[in-house]
Structure 1
Amino acid sequence: MVRMINGNNSVHESQLFSQLPIYTLRGNFSVSFVFFFFPFFLFSCLVLHSFFILLYFIFSGYVLFYNISDIRPIDTTLT
């Protein structure tokens, strides 16, 4: 809720940041550390995930297109 300060609807910076201890180092440092580095961790996971998907498609394309000569029909003449 916005308080009336000096006749206008503005909140002082110290009052604003006292409501948000997560984003300041004055609060719990571990919580602020996690909230600060979580987007970087998420982005690195996304990059690694896309890299492994790219490797999977490259390897499956290699297996599909370069090993076609190894695919032979099943020999049904054996009794």
Structure 2
Amino acid sequence: MSEIEKLSFEEAMRELEATVGKLETGEATLEESIALYERGAALRKHCEARLREAEERVEKITLAANGDPAGTEPAEGL
């Protein structure tokens, strides 16, 4: 498991926002900018995957006849 994969969604989003902020200042060298961009792309991919996982879990919540949550079904692949 990579360092990024170990981050929670919130941690990855904070780091992604900081990375974008550094890129927007324009103060990084070309090499630093490339490294920041690559890390940002990996963080974005991680965040998207975590969101997909959360959406799948929410979709698996089962409802009772009265509309109250009655439990969950295991999501495929989790």
- TM-score, length-normalised on structure 2? 0.45
* Structure with a larger share of its residues in strand: 2
Structure with larger RCO (C-alpha < 8 A, sep 6+): 2
TM norm structure 1: 0.44
